[in-house]
Amino acid sequence: MPRQQRGGTPAKNPVKAMKRVLSIVFGKRKAQFAFIVLCIIIVAFSTVYYSNFLGKFIDGYVTPIIGVKDPDFAPIIRALFQFALIVSVSVAFSYVLQRTMVGISQKTLYDIRMDMFRKLESLPISYFDRNPHGTIMSRFSNDTDTLNQLISNSLVQLMQAGITLLMLVVAMLMNSLLMSAVVAVFVFITIKATGSISKRSGRQFSIQQETLASVNGYIEEMMNGQRVIKVFCHEEKSKEDFEKLDMELFRSMSKANTLANIMGPVTMNLGNLQYVALVIAGALFVMLTGGWSAGYTLGALAAFLQLSRAFSNNVNQMSQQMNTVLLALAGAERIFEILDEKSETDDGYVTLVNVTEGPDGSVTESSAHTGHWAWKHPHKDGSPVTYTPLRGDIVMIDVDFGYVPGKTVLHDISLYAKPGQKIAFVGSTGAGKTTITNLLNRFYDIQDGKIRFDGININKIRKADLRHSLGMILQDTNLFTGTIRENIRFGRLDATDEEVEAAARLANAHDFIMMMPDGYDTMLTNNGESLSQGQRQLLSIARAAVADPPVLVMDEATSSIDTYTEALVQDGMDKLMENRTVFVIAHRLSTVRNSNAIMVLDHGHIIERGDHDQLIAQKGVYYRLYTGAVELD
C-alpha cells in the first residue's frame, strides 16, 4: 500500500538552518571564506564600475568631442583600455571564486555524508525500527543534492548579489536621491510579490521532497519484494499503488515548479517597469530642473539607468535563488535531524579481553588472540581489577520491558542458562520471543529487573564487548556485496583464511563454496541472490562460527529452507552449538526437543517451562502444540 503522506512544511527555522550551514561550510575555513568575500567584493565593485564608467565615458569623453573637427581619440582609447583591464580582473576573480566554491562544496558534502553515516552507525536499533529505510536513503540522496546546489551555486550567488546590491544602493544614492526613491518603490513591490510566491513555493518544494522520499522508499520495497510480488501476481496492484505515489509527486513537483517559474517573469517584468519609470522620471527631472545644464547630465542619467538595471538583475538573481535556498534549507533541516539524533548511549565499563588461563584456573590478560576471553572489571571503589572468565552464564531476574512507555510486552521474565545449555523459546507471533534476544544484545534496555552475564549486570558491560560475545543466526540472512570469504570473515575481521575455511567446514558450507566459480573468492551481490536460502543460511552459520562466541542466539534459523538443506543446516548448527550457551527460537518444535529447558511464552509471560519430557507430561500448551491439537500463529 502507498505510504501515509505527511503534510509538507518548509524549513521550520530557515535563519537557524542557514547559520548552521554557513558554520559547516566556513567554520573551519575562515581564510578561504575571507578570500571568497574578497573575490565577491572585487566582482561587485566591477559591476558598479561598469555602470559608472558609462556615465563618465559619455560626459568626459564623448560629449566634449561632439562637433569638434579633429577630435583627440587618445583619451577614449586609454579609458577603454582601463575598462578592459577591470573587466579582465573581474572575470579572473569570478573564475577563481567559482573554482574555490566547487572545491569547498564537494569537501563539505563529503564531510556531511561521512557525519551522517557515522551517526547512522551510532544510532540505536529503535531508530531504524521507527523510520522507513527509503526515508533515510532520501536524506543521503535527495536532500544532499539540494544542499549541494545551495553550497556550490546559490550561496555564492546570494552573497555576491547581496554585496553588489549594497554597493549599487550607495552608488545610486550618490547619483540621485529622487531617482533612488523610484527604485525603492519598485523594490517594495518586488519584495511583497516574491515573498508571497516564495512562501507558497517553499511549502510545495518541501512536499515534493517528502513525496520523493516516499516514492524512493516504495521502489526499494518493491525491488526487495519482487519474488513475493510475482508469486502472488501482485504486479498490477503494485503498479496502481506506485501510480498513486507517482501522481502525488507529479502534482507536488508541478505546483512547486510552476510557482518557481513564475518568480522569474514577475521580477523581470517589474524590473522592466522600473526601467521605464526611471526613464520617465529622469526626463521629468531634467525638464523640471532646467535641462542638462542644471547639473544632472546625460551621462549621469545613463549611469543611473545602468545601475538600476544591474540592481534589478541582482534582485532577480536573488529571487530566482530563493526557491532553491528554501528547498535546500528544508533538506538541510532533515539532514540535521539525523545528525542531532541521540546516539546509542553506553555507560558500560566492563570490557572483554584476551587472556591466558593457568593450570590453577587463574587468568592473565594478553595482547594476542588466545581464543580465551575474560571480563575485565574495574571497580569504582578502588579495589583491584578483577577478571571473570567468559563462560556464557545468563540469568534474567524479574525482567519487565516495553518498546513504548506504558505498554509492557514482557512481564516478570525470569530464567537462567548455564554454560553449554540450550534454552528454547516457543510461542505464537508477538509472544515476546525475539524481544528477549533483543534484550540480551542490549538493542533495547529493560525497564525493570536484571540481566546478568557471568554474574555481571549487563548494564555494566560495554555494548560492543557484550555483542562481541554473542553470535546471532537469524531467519533473514544478510549478505553484503563482496566475496564469500569476506562475508564469512564479517564475523571476525582478523580471522585468517584458514580460520574462515575451518568455519565453513564446520557449517557444512565448504562443499558448495568449492563448487562456485571462484570458490571462496566468488563475488556476492544483492544480498547473495545467486545463492539458495539454505546456502545463505550456511554462510550465516559459518560467519557465527568464525566469531567463536560463547553464546548463540538462533531466531527461526531453519524455518524457510527445505528438509534436505535443513538437515545440513541443523548439523552445522549442532556442531556450532557444542559447549556454548544457546538460545533458540523455533516454530518447528522438533528442533527444540533436545533443549535443556523450553520456555512457552504467551503475551509476554512465561506460562510453562521445563524440558521436552516434562512439558509433554504436563499435557499443557506445549503438549497441545507438539501433538498438533493447536498450532502456532
Give the start-to-end residue ranges of the domains of the chain.
Answer: 14-208+261-339, 351-389, 394-627
Long-range contacts of 491-499 (CB under 8 A, 24+ apart): 491/542, 491/543, 491/544, 491/545, 491/546, 491/547, 492/546, 492/547, 492/548, 494/369, 495/546, 499/546
Cβ-based burial of 10 (10 A; exposed 0-12, middle 13-18, buried ≥19): buried
Nearest alpha-carbon partner for 179 in 51, 58, 86, 66:
51
Residue 464 CA to residue 353 CA, distance in Å, equals: 12
Residue 532 CA to residue 230 CA, distance in Å, equals: 18
Alpha-helical segments (H) within 289-402:
298-339
- Per-residue model confidence (pLDDT) at position 498: 92
Q: Which helix (H) or strand (E) holds 484?
A: helix 484-489
Q: Which residues are CB-neighbours of 92 under 8 A, at least 6 positions away?
A: none
Residues facing 608 on adjacent strands: 600
Strands 470-474 and 551-555: parallel
- Per-residue model confidence (pLDDT) at position 55: 75
Residues of the chain with pLDDT under 70: 1-11, 63, 66-69, 198-199, 201-202, 206, 224-232, 260, 263-264, 286-296, 556-566, 569, 629-633
- Dihedral sign computed on CA atoms, order 162, 168, 171, 177: negative
- Per-residue model confidence (pLDDT) at position 294: 47
- Per-residue model confidence (pLDDT) at position 457: 93
Cell numbers for 134: 527509503
Q: What is the CATH number of domain 394-627?
A: 3.40.50.300
Span 499-554, pLDDT tens digits: 999 989 888 889 899 998 899 999 988 778 888 888 888 888 888 888 888 888 88
Residue 339 CA to residue 20 CA, distance in Å, equals: 12
Nearest alpha-carbon partner for 134 in 325, 324, 5, 323:
5
Q: What angle do CA 394, 399, 400 make, to 5 degrees?
A: 150
Residues facing 482 on adjacent strands: 524
- Note the CATH architecture for domain 14-208+261-339: Up-down Bundle (1.20)
